Amino acid sequence: MARPDKAAAVAELTDKFRSSNAAMLTEYRGLTVAQLKTLRRSLGENAQYAVVKNTLTKIAANEAGITLDDQLFAGPTAVAFVTGDPVESAKGLRDFAKDNPNLIIKGGVLDGKALSADEIKKLADLESREVLLSKLAGAFKGKQSQAAQLFQALPSKLVRTVDALRAKQDEQGGAE
């Protein structure tokens, strides 16, 4: 029978997996407490970074309906549970790992889909949600102004054509 403290830890981790948009697993061996504190700050406000027990985390992931590769649970593991924009947290992990080679990004999960370490790095290369939305809005605004110019050009072109035809008829009528 499972011990109550372990069952509570599994339940808490299961809840974190279910309530998070993303979870990124890392190996933190060789990092100091001060470096871990810096890492937690670099992940952003919408992420929690927790050192976890591999066996309990694997059980919790399975209970949350997430299948992760067993290799992710080798060595000391910490998980960044992200409730907001996963791009911001992925950038924080990537940038921290550049400065601190002891941090190894193992992989993770995004919206229930398993991610490799390379996929997390690609996620970090994306622009933030706000930037992408503003670019999309700018593209829509540009298309709207092009459409407005087109709709304004059609009547004025029609008026110029009618005026040219009238002037040509006046010339032909005056020449006869």
Angle between helices 4-19 and 54-63 (to 10 degrees): 50
Provide the pLDDT for residue 174: 60
Backbone angles phi, psi at 108, to 5 degrees: 175, -155
Which pLDDT tens digits describe the chain residue by residue (176 residues)? 468 888 888 888 888 888 888 899 998 888 889 888 988 888 888 888 888 888 888 888 888 888 888 888 888 888 999 988 888 888 888 888 888 888 888 988 888 888 888 888 888 877 766 776 787 777 777 777 777 777 777 777 777 888 888 888 888 876 55
- To which residue do tokens 């829509």 refer? 140
Order the strands of the 47-52 sheet from edge to edge.
Answer: 47-52, 77-82, 22-27, 104-110, 113-116
Compute the distance between CA of residue 121 and CA of residue 110 in angstroms, rounded to an integer: 13
Provide the pLDDT for residue 2: 64
- Burial class for 109, CB neighbours closer than 10 Å (0-12, 13-18, 19+): buried
Q: Cα–Cα–Cα angle for 50, 53, 54, nearest 5°?
A: 115
The string over 123-141, giving b where at least 16 C-beta atoms fall within 10 Å of a residue's C-beta and e elsewhere, is bbeeeeeeeeeeeeeeeee
Compute the distance between CA of residue 16 and CA of residue 18 in angstroms, rounded to an integer: 5
Q: Which residues contact 40 (CB under 8 A, 6 or more apart)?
A: 49
CA quadruple 129, 105, 108, 13: dihedral positive or negative?
negative
- Name which of 153, 157, 43 is nearest 103 in CA terms: 43
Compute the distance between CA of residue 145 and CA of residue 139 in angstroms, rounded to an integer: 10
This prediction has a pTM of 0.66
Residue type, 160: R
